[in-house]
A and B are shown apart, each in its own frame.
Chain A
Amino acid sequence: MKVRIKLYASLAEYLPMGAVKNEADLEVCDKATPTQIILRLGLPEKMCHMVLINGVYIAPDERGSTSLAVGDHLAIWPPVAGG
């Protein structure tokens, strides 16, 4: 199934080829979890501070058990802040 991957700030360098505006579509297996995708893209785990599926925060201990559905948006940030 296809999901949309969004990697921001310093994680942008891990985006797959062909990414536009920090986003790329990725073919993943059914019920893929954020942890699986993080591993596949080679993202350093401690850099994955904010993991959002469709804008909803996924806590670290739920990243291996929460499954994505077709067309879901998985967005990941390193530790950032602003104001």
Chain B
Amino acid sequence: MAWAKKLLRVNLTAGTISEEALNMDWANKYLGQRGLATKYFVEEVDPKVDPLSPDNKMIMATGPLTGTCASTAGRYSVITKGALTGAIACSNSGGFFGNEMKNAGYDMVIFEGASKTPVYLFIDNDNAQLIDASDMWGTSVWDTEDKIKSDHQDPMIRVASIGISGEKGVKYACVVNDYHRAAGRSGVGTVMGSKNLKAVAIRGTKGVTVKDPVRFFEAANAGKAVLAGNPVTGEGLPAFGTQVLMNVINETGALPSQNHRDVQFDGAHAISAEAMAEPRESDGKPNLVRNAACFGCTIACGRISTIDRTHYTVAERPEYQVASGGLEYEAAWALGAATGVDDLDALTFANFICNEQGYDPISFGATVGAAMELYEIGAITDKETGGIELKFGSAKALTDLAELTGKSEGFGAEIGLGSKLLCEKYGHGELSMSVKGQEFPAYDSRGIQGMGLTYATSNRGACHLRSYTVASEVLGIPEKTDPLVHEGKAGLVKAFQDATAVFDSAGICVFTSFAWSLEDVAPQIDAACEGDWSVETLLEVGERIWNLERNFNNAAGFTAADDKLPERLMKDAAKTGPAKGLTSQLDKMLPEYYQLRGWTADGVPTNETLGRLGL
């Protein structure tokens, strides 16, 4: 019922595979996916483990709704200790892989140890086996996916794999499924690479059932009707995708540009959703081919794009002239605004390469931005870059580095360190725009105050997807708050964090939350899953998950001192826009946040809090 109630444990060191019953006591307390897999992870893994050691584990997990007809219910997450951050990592991906895992009869797959030689896991319903992947090692995500489908002569196999970047230890490598959906952040693909695990391929045909089908259909259909009737999820996202935010955030004065030196970018329009839809001069066709959905998604915000055939990146390379996964907002920001590059085709090309070689465009773009600043101040020179003129705004530098980083060659290997290690290496740790080693995404914490607290307290390092207060502060969802003030943001962040943990653990996409509240989600979970699931229970689950993750990080050695933003955001005021003259007010929000969380002033959950949540 909703849960398959079974997991697969793969010991890569021993080459063994075994089935286990899912711990349903835990499922009742942590729901699934992010929450439940984190519970398994913290129970089984030493918090001090080196992320790249065989003692680290990696869990691919679905939620109870994954594979059902609830809208967007095709998600899975990769849970591990992040290679980029050393913190608990949970990266969520759409596409069609999560559904396939559930249909093969598994809620999650736990990988432990490390294989001596490259392997991939092939699951064909009840039959799971590790297969030699030596002939795929050194190939891209795209080639790996094609090869596995071809080897098994089954185009319906779903594949999640790593590219060369993940093999070679680029710190922010992703796990990519369905060619261009990715569990993108924190270096979960790097961990996978360290285990010599090239791919997980699944064919599942068993079907997914729910507790009360009649009620579930009603609840799921009601949920879909809410999404369809909501102007954001029903019209805005399908038509313009997340990229519609480029002009919004720029206008709001919260679009970090050139390594967060500025909060607005002159080239914003040129790399926005509006630009993606404009016919280009050479062939009269727009960058955007069409929108596309992940499994079960009735929103369909995904972009399918092509690059202008005459563009320097692809003119001689027809293999990149076909349609593929196009720019989403965060990627476009990092590849564009963060680096000062306003060439839409160059960004699209870099994005293709990120997908093809499996690494996170956010961390990559942000790191290139940081490197550009290092270059500008002379901390790195042409000698280090191998002759790449690493100037802000250079499309050529961006696309060259994209290819080099994908293969971890030349200066690409340095970019592959991530901004924190790179900046420290060249003596300017302060230039890394990151928290807990993970680069910021596309919102400036001076122009959107809540996001500063979001980044600082995110359990997986700087991240917008742990509490997307942009929704409230800028977009007015569910209600408008003032982005420039810090008052009330601690509570807002906490509420978003707890609710988001529920969405991430249910098997659905957090984008539904633009239209859905937990009032819309609870009936779907309650009809699908055994047990009683109300908004209140779910919120408690969300809070429990948040504290579980925090506890792990604390045990791993993180302290309140790690809940901080780079000095630039605390001291250098925004130069333009509504936030002109403003810095982040994190120091005012953080104590209030700890208090609201029931944590000590040092950011440690009190015994009372832990007891209340049953931790």
Which A residues are within 8 Å of any B CB, using their own CB?
6, 8-10, 12, 21-22, 49-50, 52, 54-57, 59, 73, 75, 77-83
A-contacting residues, B179-221, CB 8 Å: none
**A81 touches which of B237, B251, B330, B578 (Cβ 8 Å):** B237
- The answer on a CB contact under 8 Å between A21 and B236 is no
* A79-B231, A82-B245 given; A9·B236 CB < 8 A: yes
Residues of B contacting A50 in the complex (Cβ-Cβ under 8 angstroms):
248, 474-476
- The answer on a CB contact under 8 Å between B242 and A83 is yes
Q: How far is the CB of A7 from chain B (nearest CB, A)?
A: 10
Query: Of the 9-residue stretches B100-108, B464-472, B540-548, B603-611, which lies at the interface with chain A?
Result: B464-472
- The answer on a CB contact under 8 Å between B244 and A80 is yes
- The answer on a CB contact under 8 Å between B578 and A56 is yes
CA of A21 to CA of B578 in the docked complex: distance in angstroms? 21
- The answer on a CB contact under 8 Å between B274 and A81 is no
- The answer on a CB contact under 8 Å between A77 and B248 is yes
**B232 touches which of A12, A73, A75, A80 (Cβ 8 Å):** A80
* A52-B251, A80-B232, A80-B244 given; A21·B480 CB < 8 A: no
* A8-B248, A57-B480 given; A81·B235 CB < 8 A: no
Residues of A contacting B329 in the complex (Cβ-Cβ under 8 angstroms):
82-83
* A9-B240, A52-B252 given; A83·B247 CB < 8 A: no
B243, closest chain A residue (CB):
A82
Q: How far is the CB of B553 from chain A (nearest CB, A)?
A: 23
Residues of A contacting B296 in the complex (Cβ-Cβ under 8 angstroms):
none
* A50-B475, A83-B464 given; A8·B274 CB < 8 A: yes
A-B contact pairs, 16 of them (CB 8 A): A10-B236, A22-B269, A52-B251, A52-B252, A55-B252, A57-B483, A59-B480, A78-B231, A80-B236, A80-B240, A80-B245, A81-B242, A81-B245, A82-B329, A83-B468, A83-B511
* A79-B236, A81-B232, A81-B471 given; A12·B245 CB < 8 A: no
Residues of B contacting A54 in the complex (Cβ-Cβ under 8 angstroms):
577-578
B577, closest chain A residue (CB):
A55
B514 at the interface (CB under 8 A from A): yes
Kindly count the residue-residue contacts between A and B in the assembled complex, taking CB atoms under 8 Å apart. Answer: 98
B477 at the interface (CB under 8 A from A): yes
CA of A21 to CA of B277 in the docked complex: distance in angstroms? 12
* A21-B269, A50-B475, A79-B232 given; A8·B252 CB < 8 A: no
Residues of B contacting A10 in the complex (Cβ-Cβ under 8 angstroms):
235-236, 239-240
Q: How far is the CB of B55 from chain A (nearest CB, A)?
A: 34
**A78 touches which of B236, B273, B482 (Cβ 8 Å):** B236
Extra 4 A-B pairs, beta carbons < 8 Å, given A21-B270, A52-B252, A82-B329: A8-B244, A55-B252, A55-B577, A78-B231
- Write out, one digit per residue, whether chain B residues 109-132 have a CB within 8 A of any chain A CB (1) or not (0): 000000000000000000000000
CA of A17 to CA of B239 in the docked complex: distance in angstroms? 23
- Secondary structure type dominating chain A contacts: loop
- Write out, one digit per residue, whether chain B residues 328-340 have a CB within 8 A of any chain A CB (1) or not (0): 1110000000000
CA of A50 to CA of B231 in the docked complex: distance in angstroms? 13
CA of A77 to CA of B251 in the docked complex: distance in angstroms? 11
B525 at the interface (CB under 8 A from A): no
List the 3 closest A-B pairs by CB distance, nearest first. A82-B242, A82-B245, A79-B231
Q: How far is the CB of B37 from chain A (nearest CB, A)?
A: 22
- The answer on a CB contact under 8 Å between B468 and A9 is no
A-contacting residues, B476-505, CB 8 Å: 476-477, 480, 482-483
**A55 touches which of B232, B241, B269, B578 (Cβ 8 Å):** B578
CA of A28 to CA of B577 in the docked complex: distance in angstroms? 23
Residues of A contacting B482 in the complex (Cβ-Cβ under 8 angstroms):
57
B78 at the interface (CB under 8 A from A): no
* A9-B236, A54-B578, A57-B480 given; A81·B273 CB < 8 A: no
Residues of A contacting B510 in the complex (Cβ-Cβ under 8 angstroms):
83
- The answer on a CB contact under 8 Å between A55 and B253 is yes
B332, closest chain A residue (CB):
A82
Interface centre among B270, B470, B482, B578 (most CB of A within 10 A): B578
Q: How far is the CB of A20 from chain B (nearest CB, A)?
A: 9
**A6 touches which of B251, B464, B471 (Cβ 8 Å):** B251
Q: How far is the CB of B264 from chain A (nearest CB, A)?
A: 8
CA of A82 to CA of B464 in the docked complex: distance in angstroms? 11
A77, closest chain B residue (CB):
B248
* A22-B269, A83-B511 given; A9·B330 CB < 8 A: no
CA of A33 to CA of B232 in the docked complex: distance in angstroms? 26
